[in-house]
Chains A and B, each alone.
Chain A
Amino acid sequence: MNHLVPLPVLLPLFGAGLKLAIGGRLPRGQRVISVAVLTAVLGVAVALLVSADRDGPVVARMAGWPAPTGIVLVADRLSALMLVVSCVVTLGVLVYSIGQGRADADEATPLSVFHPTYLILVAGVADAFLAGDLFNLYVGFEVLLAASYVLLTVGGTAARVRAGAGYVVVGLLSSLVFLAAIAMVYAATGTVNLAQLAVRLPEVDPGVLLILESMLLIGFGVKAAVFPLSAWLPDAYPTAPAPVTAVFAGLLTKVGVYAIIRVQTLLFPDGRMRELLLVVAAATMIVGILGAIVQSDLNRLLSFTLISHIGYMVFGIALASAAGLAGAVFYAVHHITVQTSLFLVAGLIERRGGSTDLGRLGGLARLSPVLAVLFFVPAMNLGGIPPLSGFLGKWLLLRAGAEFGTVTSYVLIGAAVATSLLTLYAMARVWGQVFGGTADHSGATAYSSGASLSGRDVAATTSVLPRAMTLATCALVAVALAFTVWAGPLVALADRTGVELVGRAAYVDAVPLPGGVHRSGGR
């Protein structure tokens, strides 16, 4: 099983290289490679999850080097679960983007850029999830960020370059903060291996520890778009092509959330940042959703709900109890799927209605009932209507918060409920403006901007949605519904993940370290 661990990183990289070698000659071959690679990665990820759940974390030493010197990849329940969900989502978005590429008939130009870059993005995400040391986590982040810079500015139109400029600079800065934090961690402990850090960090001076923790949190907080560090997101995401926005919204922020979970549980389990994280979580929820309510553009609105719901995961992380972490993990899984499908639906809406401006859309429910259903289900899911997974995730978090029982946690429960209601309000407003009323086609037939992968203006709205795009969206919506059907096993898995994260021992013991208490010098 151990030799499977590097595959989620290696396969997409290999596929990307193969695609670049092929070039634009075999469009069909290109598509087959992408789908085959991601399906294979999904298979590997499922195998890893099963193995990690049954026998504990799976560890692979790169090139046979032993742990603190060499690079180790670790797949525990959290990593494997995130990997599985991200594979499902990226596969769905890939099919969607293939459908969009075929519908726009722009295979020749973007394929040589979009598809290899997409695979590299997947490799970066997988590397970040599997990284067993801080520096490899940094490399994984950089791989996925570099790919995301390219994807966000693909086509190079002025709007995308404008959005990309801010995104790239913010991404670079957060990476540099992270790099400086790694340097300080190494200076303080003499290692960057996560398992070894878990052993060594408690011996470090508390003041130094606080600096390390806050620098890591700032670096990851920017990537996860936690409130005071989230202003870049709504400007960056909406201009990109729909599949890119969808996969960014679903995955990239969650990689940041994953990193926060990993670092907070494994390296800093003492919970000194708890009150701060709780306050930040509440601010993220409230500020994000208030931003969403006033937006007049669908993509911007969804970007703000994305920020807002990051707050739920931070809430679970801040509680730092097994139940809270289980809630955060379940919520992350739910939110990746739902937010991605909502952005995909927004892409379909743009294609059908010609715009994402809420003021210009209307009457789509009559024009395209399928689209209405496809929007309605994930929207209600995001709002947390009872049988759906959004409700389950929120319920897990609220229960964990109530168990925690301090004043702040009760305030946070109130904020979470208010955010849920306001999300529902925002979604109802979108529903009323986009799907309700009558269609006004006088001005809505303007060609849609930025829908095409190559940045070319797409000719006009289509009356028939491309089948691959609709099917991919349907599949993701169905996956989110499956979370409800198989909620029992999934919540049990999330609970086991939470227990494993709080326990820490499984992760530390899984990585073979020389002696465990070995310290190199007196740094």
Chain B
Amino acid sequence: MKSPTLILVLTAAVLVGVGVYLILERSLTRVLLGVVLIGNGANLIVLSGGGRAGGAPVLGVTLPGRMNDPLPQAMVLTAIVITLAVTAFVLSMVHRHWELTGTDEIQDDAEDLRVVRRAERGDLRAEHRRLRRELREQTTARREVVRRLAIEARANYAAECRRLGVDERGHGGQPEEQRIARERRAELRLRLRGIKSEHRVQQDELRSRFRAARRELNRQARAERAAVARADGVVDAVPDTEFPRGTSTIGAGHGSTAIGSGHGSTAIGSGHGSTAIGSGHGSTAIGSGNGSTAFGAGRGGDHAGNEPPR
């Protein structure tokens, strides 16, 4: 048997393993290194496919029986050249990505964003439901307490009346007792009112907490729709009609778009957006050189000042 050396195979296994680990990173440079390692591992596998090592496969140098198999060597040379070229291409792409976004980390795509947003919204919904249930439970509990307190207070009052020998409306008995009964009744009324208002305050507080949660939920849902729209329609996310109004909020939104999503023409478009708003241009500034001045430092030259103002 002409078995290849085990060292080649083991090295290939290690290279591929490390490469797979690197490829799972977000940084494009590491992904590239991973690809290079896996490529080298695959090349070693090809090489070991040629069997045991031998002499150079040149007639007159090595006896035909001791020659190495030349075919895998020819194949591995081709594979190396191809990997080299593609590596160069990926490097240039990483550089371009860094030029455009200032980082070599790969961004989430539209589907990723959707999935994440949906999960976040699910969490918010669950929180909302929990709050509502809590509100309901606490409301019923408090109502029960209030009812019990009221009954207790009334029973006390009734016992007092009986003790004083007056009926509950304050009739009958001595004038002195009637006066005391009136006082007790006023106390009772005050107490009942106090219980109720306390209950109302707590109820209001609960309700306002619940409303705040609901507002947050709705805000998130709106933000999600906007983000998905941005991710979907690259340029559509920055409709030119929106620039003149709502300066502060729109400006902030666009600013974060440009940083966050970093799409090609979105980034440019939103770059325009924030520039335009910052410098007080209206919607007429879209597509002019302004955006590229905002991005000028980071971006490559091909957009800077090339395009006539629209």
Contacts and interface: CB of A to CB of B under 8 A. Distances in A.
Contact of B2 (A165, A357, A446, A523): A523
Given A161-B100, A169-B35, A457 B45 contact: no
B263 A158 contact: yes
Contact of B28 (A165, A235, A522): A165
Given A165-B106, A182-B46, A296 B232 contact: yes
Contacts of B4: 187
Nearest to B106: A165
A165 B93 contact: yes
Given A165-B97, A166-B106, A522 B264 contact: no
A179 B97 contact: no
Interface in A156-176: 156-166, 168-169, 172-173, 175-176
A152 to B, nearest CB: 10
For the residues of A in contact with B, the DSSP-based class is helix
B310 A459 contact: yes
B249 interface: no
Contacts of B93: 149, 153, 161, 164-165, 168
Interface in B122-176: none
Interface stretch (B81-89, B181-189, B194-202, B273-281): B81-89
Nearest to A149: B89
A351 interface: no
B236 interface: yes
Contacts of A157: 100, 263-265, 268
A184 B43 CA distance: 11
A521 B2 contact: yes
Interface string A346-377: 00000000010100100000000000000000
A180 B93 CA distance: 26
Contacts of A459: 310
B158 to A, nearest CB: 67
Q: Per DSSP, are chain B's interface residues mostly helix, strand or loop, or mixed?
A: helix
B45 A168 contact: no
Which interface residue of B1, B23, B236, B306 has the most chain A CB atoms within 10 A? B236
B111 interface: yes
Given A173-B38, A447-B235, A142 B45 contact: no
A360 B150 CA distance: 62
A455 B45 CA distance: 40
Interface string B206-229: 000000000000000000000000
A64 interface: no
Given A149-B89, A443-B236, A449-B234, A183 B264 contact: no
A314 to B, nearest CB: 23
B106 A523 contact: no
Contacts of B266: 158-159, 449
Chain A interface bracket (under 10, 10 to 19, 20 to 34, 35 or more): 35 or more
B39 interface: yes
A69 interface: yes
A139 B78 contact: yes
A135 B78 contact: yes
Nearest to A141: B82
Given A158-B264, A159-B266, A297 B51 contact: no
A463 interface: no
B96 interface: yes
B264 A161 contact: yes
A186 B120 CA distance: 51
Nearest to A191: B71
A121 to B, nearest CB: 14
Contacts of B177: none
B49 A176 contact: no
Contacts of A156: 96, 100, 300, 302
B35 A162 contact: no
A157 B266 CA distance: 10
A146 interface: yes
Given A158-B101, A160-B264, A449 B235 contact: yes
Interface string A423-446: 000000000000000000011001
Interface string B32-74: 0001001100110110111100000000000000000001100
A360 B240 CA distance: 14
Given A186-B49, A442-B241, A457-B307, A149 B86 contact: yes
B204 interface: no
Contacts of A239: 234, 264
Contacts of A192: 71, 75
Interface in B76-123: 78-79, 82, 85-86, 89-90, 93, 96-97, 100-101, 106-107, 109-111
A139 B78 CA distance: 8
Contact of B109 (A162, A182, A184): A162
Contacts, number: 169
B295 to A, nearest CB: 10
Nearest to B114: A294
B157 to A, nearest CB: 66
B289 interface: no
Given A162-B109, A523-B51, A360 B310 contact: no
B287 interface: yes
Given A173-B38, A182-B46, A357-B232, A161 B96 contact: yes
Contacts of A522: 1-2
B71 A69 contact: yes
A275 B240 CA distance: 54
A175 B28 CA distance: 19
A234 B112 CA distance: 12
Contacts of A183: 42, 45-46, 48-49, 72
Interface string A165-209: 110110011011001101110110000100000000000000000
B285 interface: no
B251 interface: no
B239 A146 contact: no
A135 to B, nearest CB: 5
A443 B72 CA distance: 59
B86 A162 contact: no
A162 B263 contact: yes
B24 to A, nearest CB: 11
A272 to B, nearest CB: 23
Given A179-B45, A521-B51, 13 more contacts: A142-B82, A146-B85, A149-B86, A158-B101, A159-B266, A168-B90, A180-B42, A183-B42, A186-B49, A186-B75, A239-B264, A360-B233, A446-B236
17 contacts: A156-B302, A157-B268, A158-B97, A161-B97, A166-B109, A168-B86, A169-B35, A172-B90, A186-B71, A187-B49, A187-B51, A192-B75, A296-B232, A357-B236, A449-B234, A456-B306, A457-B287
Interface of B: 1-2, 4, 23, 28, 31, 35, 38-39, 42-43, 45-46, 48-51, 71-72, 75, 78-79, 82, 85-86, 89-90, 93, 96-97, 100-101, 106-107, 109-111, 232-236, 239-241, 262-268, 287, 300, 302-303, 306-307, 310
9 smallest CB-CB distances across A and B, nearest first, come from A157-B264, A159-B264, A187-B49, A449-B265, A158-B264, A183-B46, A183-B49, A449-B235, A183-B45
